[in-house]
Each structure stands twice: as C-alpha cells, then as structure tokens.
Chains A and B, each alone.
Chain A
Amino acid sequence: MQLQNSSSKPSDVLVQADLAQENSEAIAIETIQTWIVNQLAKQLSLSAPSIKVEEPLTRYGLDSIDSVTIVGDMEDWLGVDLPSTLLWDYPTIQKAATYLVQEMNIAPGAIASEPETPVQPTKETVGKWSLWGRGK
C-alpha cells in the first residue's frame, strides 16, 4: 500500500484524501444523527426506528421552543456553542447533522464518547458554598 501510495500521482492522493474525509464526515453525521434520534426516542417515548432523520422535527410534536432546548442538549453533548435556532434553520435531523459536520467542522474527535450526563441529584459541592447545599 505504501509503495502504491508513494507511486501515486498527486491527484490520486487528493482523491483518496477526499474519500477519507468524506468517510469521516459520513461517520460524524451518522453519529450525530443517531444521538439525536436516541435522545428524541427517549424523550418522546417513541421507538428509535420510528424517527426518520429526513422528516421535519415538528412531525414529532415538537414546537419551536422544544427545538431550541434540544440544541441546548446538543451543546452539552458536543461541548460547543451552537446557534439556538439551529433546528429552525435546519429542521430535520439529517440537515442539522450535515450542517454541524460540514459547516461547523464538528469532527468525530470533537464528539465526546460519553452519553449526556444525566441530571444528578443536587451536588454537595458548589465551590465554597458547598456546606449550604442541603439545609441545616
């Protein structure tokens, strides 16, 4: 492979690099789509296969503010700031995931492997105010 690569014309290298990039993009888009689908399935008590990535989210009973708060969940997961109107401008799971990867350059490496942290019971430590978290 190395020999073949090293003997390749520069244009072939570019094509392969493009292919590799397309592949990683496809994986990233797929990862984001799967996460949103699972998130919605959980929150809407639907089965994941019943949620189609190419359908507008409003089809699943979400209103405008719901869409905004889902972006909040995505920010928590991805660890990046996103436009709160992301799902208004890209109203299907597929469009939103594609935008994030292709326009905001969110790469697989940037995606945390852990699922979203569930809401913890109130923490005992909030800096120097920790002693006051639980009453007298």
Chain B
Amino acid sequence: MHPPERSMHPLKQYWLAEELERDLGDPCNPESVMSFKQVIELDELEAFPEAELTWLYNWKLHHYYIPTNCGGEFTSFEEFIAFVRVMSRRDLTTSISFTTLFWSFLTWMAGTDEQKQELAQFMKDMSGAMCLSYSERAHGSDLLAGDVTATKVPGGYLLNGEKWPINRATISGVTFVLAKTDAEAGSRSLSLFMVKKAELDPATYSNLPKIKTHGIRGSDMSGIRFDDCFIPEKMRLGKEGVGLELALKGFQITRALCAAFSQGAADTALRTTLKFTLGRQLYGKTVFDIPHPRRTLVDAFLDILICDCANIGAGRGFHVVPEQFSVWSAVVKYFVTVTLEKMVQDVSVVLGARYYMREEHDFGIFQKVMRDNAIISVFDGSSIVNLHSLILQRRHLAKFRARRDAQSMEAIATRLQTTFTLDQPVPQFAPERLELFSRGADDVLQGLEIALEQLQALEPPDLEPEVLEQIEALTHAVLAELNAQDDFLGTAAFEHGHDQSPESFELAKKYCTLHAAAACVHMWLHNRKTLGEFFANGRWLALSLRRLLVAVNPALDLPPRLDDEPLAQELLRLYGEDRMFSIVPFQLAKSEVQENPIHAITELQLQAQ
C-alpha cells in the first residue's frame, strides 16, 4: 500500500496534507513559506497575511473547499481536517483567514445550481474569499434578536444595519448576511443572503475599522454596514424565512471543523516545547529527562491523541451520520478546543519564562500560538453556546438510549464500523441530511456496549494483558458514568430556554468528555491493525481513558496509571522523524536544524532500559 519512493502515509486521505507540508517547508527555517520568523513579524506589524494567502491560492488549496460535484476537489472532511492542521501549526492568522472559505458550505448546502456555479467560479477564477455576517454588536449569540433588516422591494431587498465583529468583513468579495425579512415570524424571521459585493452600489455599504485583538492580530477583524443597500432576489439562499435553519445547520459543519485549528496550534505548542526540553541542560541532564516536565509533555501528547479520536471520528461521521451533528458538532467544538487550550497552558509551564517572550526560542512562536488559539473556543459558537445546545438535547439523548433494541444496536454497530475504520471509504457528504436536532441519536456513546463486546472478544497474546484489562475496566467505568448521568436525568427537572442551571452545564461538559472517551475506544478497536505498533498496543488508550475519567469523576476508584515511558518514546520518535503528533502521524516537512535531539533521545532510551 505504501506509495513508492516517498514515505507517504498509507491512508491516502493524508497525502494532500503531506504534500502541502513538503511544499511549505520547515517552519523553523526562516526561508520557508509561513515560517515562524515570518508569521511572528507579520503579527508584530498586525499585518494581514496577503502573500501567504496568495501562496495558498496559487497552490490551489481553495479547490479543496469546493465539493467535486460543484467543480472542486473536496471529497472528505478527514482530509480537510488534516490540511487545516498543516496550515494551523504554522500560523492561525493565515489558516483562519483562508478557511473563511468553509462558509461556502452554506451555498453547497442550500444554493441553487446557478448559485453554486457562481460561487465556485468566484472562488476558483477570482481567488475569491468570503466572510460570515451574522454577529451584531448588541446581540451576542442571539441571532433572532438581530437588527439588520432586508426589506422587500421590487426585484430584491434593501439591506439596512450593521454586522460586527466579522472576520474578513473588509477583505472579501462575498459576505453571507443573515437579515430579518419578517420581524413577526419568530424562528422564521431571518433570511440568508449570499451577497457579492462587486454587484452592490458602493455608496450603500461601508466597512468598519479593523478591530485590534489579543491574538490573530493580523486578521481582518472588522465589520460591515448597509444603508438602503439594494441586493437582487437571486442573492437569497433558500426560501425567505429559512435563514436561522440554514445558519444552525451551517454551524454544524464549521464548528466541528474549527477543532482542526486548535489541533494545529497544539502540535506547535508541544513541538516547540519538546524541542526546548531536549536542548536545555539543567542539573546535569536535559529538561525532558526530569520527571515532571516529561509527564507534562506526555499528558499533552495524550490530550492530542484523545482530541484526534474525537475529531477524526467526527470528520468521518459527517459522511455517515450527518443527522446526528447537532450533537457531535457541539461536543467536538466544545471538547477539542477547550482541552487543547488547557493543554497549551499546561506545557507553557515547561517552557517557563520563555513562553511569555515575543522573541527567543523558535522566534517566540509559543506566545503567538497561545494568544491565537484562545479564540477558537469562542468564535463560531462559544463553549457556552455549544454546551447549551447539548443541554437542550440531553434529555432526548437519554430517552433514545433507553429505547435501543437489538435492531437499532446492529445499525449503530454498522455505522460505527464505517465511521471509525480509517482505511474504509466514507459515503459522499450529503448536507441535505443535516438536521436541527438528532432526535436523541449519538452513535458514539450509544455504541459503548458494542465496543465492550468487541473488547471482550479480543485476546492476548497480541496484547499485553495488563493493558487490555485496564481498557476493559475503564470502558466499563465510562459506561457506568453515562448510565448514572442518564438515570439522573430521568428523575431531574428539565428546563427550557436560557436559564439553564450551572449544574446542567457541568453535566453537559461531562457528556462531552464521555463522548471523547468512547470515540477513543472505537478508534482503537477499528484501526488496531492499520495504524502502527504504538497505536495497536493500546497503552495510550488506557492512559487516555484514565485521564478522561479522572476529569469526569475524581472520586472514582481507578486502576493505577500504567507506565507511560512508551509514550515518551513515541513522542520522541515522532519528533525525531518530523511526524504529526497524531493517531495518524503523517509526514511533516523535514526539519533542517535540530538542536541536540539525538543526544537526548539516546540518553533517554538508555535510561529506559
């Protein structure tokens, strides 16, 4: 299966990311495109990454945001997540500015053939970019409260009002505008418009000044104002009144994909810190040889692997169970971004004072990663919005789970197999199957009993008995926590609306953590024979499950932590071979300058023997 000559990953959905890596080059080399040196300089200048974006367009990466049936190259969200990680590990400013292109999925989902063709041409022929004009200064996440109106006039609408803060509001040719078409129609009061700025009277709209931000400082964070701005009827997506429905479904796509930004940032945070620990000598040994920093970095590696299972599972799940994404997307957007934010904070301790410096070690990339990454859990639906959405669905999840029968379990088992087996193809993404509400379905957690059955069928000798026992015991513990939560919800009072109790938010957070744990188990079970020896061994899984359960319920009586030395060794191997810290450790650009890693690795291996 291995392609000849190059050491590309056997899974072809990772080839695009590997090619992009190769062509971008080592980010530590100042001569590379999007090198750390270059992106730090742009950040200091708060400059929009114009040249970097042009390079990506010239590379034709934008074609991978357009589905093949609309004339592009997009086929797989798993592939999409991988290449967004490649961009994001270098520079979130560029990655986020480029990836506003994913708002095109609104048109791929709801547009007419003509609208799809028009947008594809705009993207491909004009290197077009877009932005999402939903937010308003006074209304936070309350979309229905928006004040921007679209008043019907012959041939179209007049737009009035202001959208703010909007990423790429100024430097974009298309803006997706959510506007009120009938103030009395409640959830049907909004309509969505794909507005091509080139077709507007320039006197009727204007851009608001750039907003200075804590991170992604070069971004075009600004706003747009409309004053009796005429837009023709053909710019409306879908029927009048379907704006909120399209907006919520569109978010299901983009929220899950946002996790890939965090994953790229997390890789750099860990890689640059590991590099530092390997090159720095304290008390007669490298920092990595000191137990506490090593444990911190191993735990960070675990966090990345856990988030991989959740997010790669979701990337593939889009193709298999799009109707469940009111749940999956909220889980992933909350869990992955918040977990990796904390992970970056955790490893900052190891870097010490240098984490705070805007130069020094790797051109000061760490502090930029930390600032940039902090917005991912906030934009495109904040943690609170995602948890709230889960709370409202949580009772149905419990109800649906209680009703499963042999037939529905067989169906869940089949879907999980397709979703989590990475060397199996996935069906074409069908955005028309997205639903506002999963009706209580969440295969990942509702298939836990299936995973337990599969675990029971596994037999040593190809597995260490101690590891397998722990995986089984810990998976049982995950199930027990889920059962306890479901039982509690069966008796608890249920609240509608926006006055949910803080306790409900805590329960929703735990649900996300349990979902991630189940995703790890499914991922392992379905890929033990294809993702290499380290993955197959399962020690990482036992350690991950333990880590997640401690977070869910610190009072649990869990088995002791397994020796994590093999994880430290794997971390070093991936670092030494320039591979992504991932369950799919695809090839990164070869690093050209390494600061004494070989010496440290040798020393560590000797110690381990």
Contact = CB atoms under 8 A, between A and B. Distances in A.
B410 A127 contact: yes
Interface residues of B, number: 50
A14 interface: no
Given A62-B496, A64-B244, A88-B188, A126 B490 contact: no
Nearest to A92: B186
Given A66-B497, A127-B405, A129-B449, A72 B440 contact: yes
Contacts of B393: 65, 69
A129 B483 contact: no
Contacts of A67: 187
A47 B480 CA distance: 36
Please classify the interface of chain B as helix (H, G, I), strand (E, B), loop, or mixed, using the class held by over half of its residues.
helix
A78 to B, nearest CB: 13
A10 interface: no
A116 B404 CA distance: 16
Nearest to A58: B186
Given A64-B144, A123-B402, A129-B449, A72 B498 contact: no
A54 B389 CA distance: 27
A23 to B, nearest CB: 32
Nearest to B492: A119
Contact of A69 (B396, B405, B450, B483): B396
Chain A interface size band reads 35 or more
Given A61-B497, A69-B392, A132-B449, A84 B399 contact: no
B436 interface: yes
Nearest to A89: B188
Contacts of B401: 122
B450 A62 contact: no
B225 interface: no
B450 A129 contact: yes
A72 B397 CA distance: 11
A63 to B, nearest CB: 6
Nearest to B480: A135
A91 interface: yes
Contact of B486 (A63, A64, A65, A119): A119
Contacts of B450: 129
A43 to B, nearest CB: 5
Contacts of B487: 121-122
A84 B285 CA distance: 62
A45 interface: yes
B389 A65 contact: yes
A104 B255 CA distance: 35
B497 A126 contact: no
B245 interface: yes
Contacts of B571: none
B449 A126 contact: yes
B606 interface: no
B453 A84 contact: no
A65 B402 CA distance: 22
A75 interface: yes
Nearest to A57: B186
Given A65-B436, A135-B480, A91 B405 contact: no
A49 interface: no
Given A44-B496, A72-B437, A129 B480 contact: no
B292 to A, nearest CB: 34
B371 interface: no
B440 A88 contact: no
B483 A134 contact: yes
Contacts of A84: 435-437
Contacts of A85: 187, 245, 436
Contact of A66 (B392, B402, B439): B392
Contacts of A88: 186-188, 244-245
B200 to A, nearest CB: 30
B453 A128 contact: yes
B490 A118 contact: yes
A56 interface: yes
A76 interface: yes
A66 B187 contact: no
Contacts of B395: 69, 119
B392 A127 contact: no
A128 to B, nearest CB: 7
A120 interface: yes
A15 to B, nearest CB: 37
Interface in B367-414: 389, 392-393, 395-396, 398-399, 401-407, 409-410
B374 to A, nearest CB: 27
A132 B479 contact: yes
Interface string B425-461: 0000000000111011000000001101100100000
Nearest to A63: B497
A68 B399 contact: no
A22 B439 CA distance: 33
Interface string A35-71: 0000000011100000000001010111111111101
A61 B188 contact: no
A135 B437 contact: no
Given A43-B496, A127-B407, A136-B473, 10 more contacts: A61-B498, A65-B392, A66-B392, A68-B437, A72-B439, A85-B245, A88-B244, A121-B490, A123-B402, A132-B456
15 contacts: A43-B494, A61-B498, A65-B437, A69-B392, A89-B188, A117-B403, A119-B399, A121-B402, A123-B402, A126-B404, A126-B449, A127-B405, A132-B456, A133-B449, A135-B480
Interface of A: 43-45, 56, 58, 60-69, 71-72, 75-76, 84-85, 87-89, 91, 117-123, 126-129, 132-136
Interface of B: 144, 186-188, 244-245, 248, 389, 392-393, 395-396, 398-399, 401-407, 409-410, 435-437, 439-440, 449-450, 452-453, 456, 473, 476-477, 479-480, 483, 486-487, 489-490, 493-499
Which 7 pairs show the lowest CB-CB distances between chains A and B? Answer: A127-B406, A129-B449, A119-B490, A88-B187, A132-B452, A61-B497, A64-B187
